[in-house]
């Protein structure tokens, strides 16, 4: 389609996180196909997708096996009420349990937000029925900067002010604590002391809220979309100890970090810390089908066993949870992740990417810190390295536009914390090759050089 044809097209699509006033008079950017780590727009221009769609296309685009799995299942049994089940759905639940190496059950839904809402409800109902006097436990503690979804409960757990402006009040019972953030920690604290301090503040919060009112703590093992915050090694084990001490359930949101992104199949394995409940979505079917899961430990599941006619069972249903086509595609997707050992590729190419970024722009006056794990990388940009004042949003936008013009789609933590949306985000498909990593480095280097030439917005 030509530019003038594109301009003439009426467009009634309402896009997420988009100021539509800025799109007026501009041709629409419409993608038509994709292969590997690259997608192509309708004019034929290709882009390196360093965001794997929305951090989900882990096995890359154009996997015929996944299309075949969908076709086969759709031809055989396209849908079944989740109250019943189908073979691929049960098989997939069993597969997840086996991969996690924990005994428990899996509840399916179709988005990360729903998986987290489900986790909150399971946690609350479990306490009510566990026989351990948890009737008053309803509060959910989460962390600032973390994103847990857009539905009311998941949004309430989210620790990003800009995602809530105009949509509150949310449901009561959600409390936030600060996450470890080594780059901005008190300079006198060692990494370990910082981890201990953040864990101590979580414990204090539980005490101040009244431990008997706290149902669960939810956290991503490392914060992803909120700016790629990797915790000190002692933090998660300490969080586990604290939750156990106060009878609080620990939920890990592995919606982004699950299935290889951080260089291990699951991020919690890096810290040898097991949660009680885990949520998954994005990488489950690499975005080829919408599917999400909430895994709960065996004893939690068992607290829902009761008599016919009582209310002890889980009284929730998701029309598209346990979708047989989604399960068949997800199963095939996980097989690819395992067969091609994508967590190891993520580990190696991720380390290579950060090392190359470090040597290309690590000493740049606007680069505060390059950090991450596996193929999850954040580059925190600042006005200058001494003051650490976050780079202005308008400059972040220029950097992204410069890279996009040259065919590289970079991300940033958009609409998170007012004045703190200054982290470039790189979360590509897990099949990324070193040459693709080189192209990412080149684009970040070029965009920063361009910003210096134009002059960054002064403080
Ligand atoms: C860590 C995390 N949890 C939950 C969600 C919500 O997932 P969804 O957009 O599928 O509802 C997201 C989405 O980006 C996420 O990054």
* Statement to judge: residues 323 and 349 lie in one domain: no
Taking the centre of ligand 1 as the mean of its atom positions, its distance from the CA of residue 276, in whole angstroms, is 19
248-297 pLDDT, tens digit per residue, is 999 999 999 999 999 999 999 999 999 999 999 999 999 999 999 999 99
Give the per-residue pLDDT at 344: 98
Ligand 1 contacts CB of residue 224 (under 6 A):
yes
Task: Single out the residue of 415, 344, 403, 406 nearest to residue 375, CA to CA.
Answer: 344
Query: Has this prediction a pTM greater than 0.95?
Result: yes
Alpha-carbon span 316 to 226, nearest angstrom = 30
Alpha-carbon span 339 to 357, nearest angstrom = 29
Alpha-carbon span 425 to 418, nearest angstrom = 17
Ligand 1 contacts CB of residue 157 (under 6 A):
no
Look up the domain containing 449 and give its range. Answer: 3-59+341-454
Report residue 266 as tokens. Answer: 């699951």
Give the per-residue pLDDT at 457: 86
Kindly report the CA angle at 107 between 103 and 134, in degrees rounded to 5? Answer: 75
From the CA of 257, give the closest atom in ligand 1. 1
Q: Is residue 459 part of a domain?
A: no
Select from 279, 304, 339 the last residue of a domain: 339
Range with the poorest average pLDDT among 5-14, 46-55, 380-389: 5-14
* Statement to judge: residues 138 and 219 lie in one domain: yes
Range with the poorest average pLDDT among 22-26, 191-195, 235-239: 22-26
CATH of the domain at 76: 3.40.640.10
From the CA of 281, give the closest atom in ligand 1. 10
pLDDT at 8 over 60: no
Select from 319, 339, 359 the last residue of a domain: 339
Beta strands in 168-289, from DSSP E residues, in sequence order: 174-177, 214-219, 249-253, 277-280
89-137 pLDDT, tens digit per residue, is 999 999 999 999 999 999 999 999 999 999 999 999 999 999 899 899 9
* Statement to judge: residues 248 and 281 lie in one domain: yes
396-410 pLDDT, tens digit per residue, is 999 999 999 999 999
Residues in the chain: 459
Mean pLDDT of the chain: 96
Alpha-carbon span 88 to 76, nearest angstrom = 11
Taking the centre of ligand 1 as the mean of its atom positions, its distance from the CA of residue 113, in whole angstroms, is 6
Select from 313, 339, 365 the last residue of a domain: 339
Q: Is residue 401 part of a domain?
A: yes
Q: How far is CA 262 from CA 97, 332, 405, 423, in A?
A: 20, 21, 29, 18
* Statement to judge: residues 320 and 365 lie in one domain: no
* Statement to judge: residues 426 and 441 lie in one domain: yes
Q: Which residue's CA lies nearest to atom 4 of ligand 1?
A: 148
Alpha-carbon span 230 to 303, nearest angstrom = 34
């Amino acid at each position: 389609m030509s530019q003038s044809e594109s301009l003439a097209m009426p467009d009634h699509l309402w896009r997420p996180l988009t100021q539509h006033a800025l799109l007026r008079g501009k041709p629409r950017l419409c993608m038509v196909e994709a292969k590997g780590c690259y997608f192509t727009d309708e004019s034929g221009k290709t882009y390196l997708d360093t965001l794997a769609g929305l951090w989900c296309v882990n096995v890359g685009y154009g996997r015929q096996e996944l299309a075949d799995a969908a076709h086969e299942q759709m031809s055989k049994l396209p849908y079944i009420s989740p109250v019943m089940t189908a073979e691929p759905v049960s098989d997939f639940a069993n597969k997840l349990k086996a991969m996690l190496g924990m005994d428990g059950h899996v509840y399916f839904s179709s988005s990360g937000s729903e998986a987290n809402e489900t986790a909150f409800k399971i946690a609350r109902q479990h306490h009510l029925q566990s026989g351990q006097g948890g009737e008053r436990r309803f509060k959910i503690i989460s962390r600032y900067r973390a994103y847990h979804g857009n539905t009311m409960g998941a949004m309430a757990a989210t620790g990003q002010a800009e995602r809530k402006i105009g949509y509150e009040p949310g449901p009561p019972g959600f409390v936030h604590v600060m996450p470890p953030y080594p780059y901005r920690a008190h300079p006198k604290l060692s990494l370990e002391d910082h981890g201990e301090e953040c864990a101590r503040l979580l414990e204090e919060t539980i005490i101040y809220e009244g431990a008997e009112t706290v149902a669960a703590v939810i956290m991503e093992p490392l914060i992803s979309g909120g700016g790629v915050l990797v915790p000190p090694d002692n933090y998660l084990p300490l969080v586990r100890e604290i939750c156990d001490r106060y009878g609080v359930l620990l939920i890990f949101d592995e919606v982004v970090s699950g299935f290889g992104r951080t260089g291990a199949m699951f991020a919690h394995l890096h810290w040898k810390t097991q949660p009680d409940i885990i949520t998954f979505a994005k990488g489950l079917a690499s975005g080829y089908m919408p599917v999400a899961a909430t895994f709960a430990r065996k004893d939690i599941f068992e607290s829902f066993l009761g008599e016919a006619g009582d209310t002890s069972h889980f009284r929730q249903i998701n029309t598209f949870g346990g979708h047989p086509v989604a399960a068949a595609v997800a199963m095939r997707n996980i097989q690819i992740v395992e067969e091609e050992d994508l967590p190891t590729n993520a580990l190696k190419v991720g380390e290579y990417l950060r090392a190359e970024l470090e040597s290309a722009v690590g000493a740049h006056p606007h680069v505060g810190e390059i950090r991450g794990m596996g193929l999850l990388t954040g580059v925190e940009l600042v006005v200058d390295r001494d003051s650490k004042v976050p780079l202005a949003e308008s400059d972040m936008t220029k950097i992204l536009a410069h890279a996009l013009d040259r065919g590289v789609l970079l991300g940033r933590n958009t609409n998170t914390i007012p004045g703190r949306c200054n982290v470039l985000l790189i979360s590509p498909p897990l099949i990324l090759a070193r040459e693709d990593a080189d192209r990412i480095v080149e684009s970040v280097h070029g965009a920063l050089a361009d910003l210096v030439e134009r002059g960054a917005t002064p403080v």
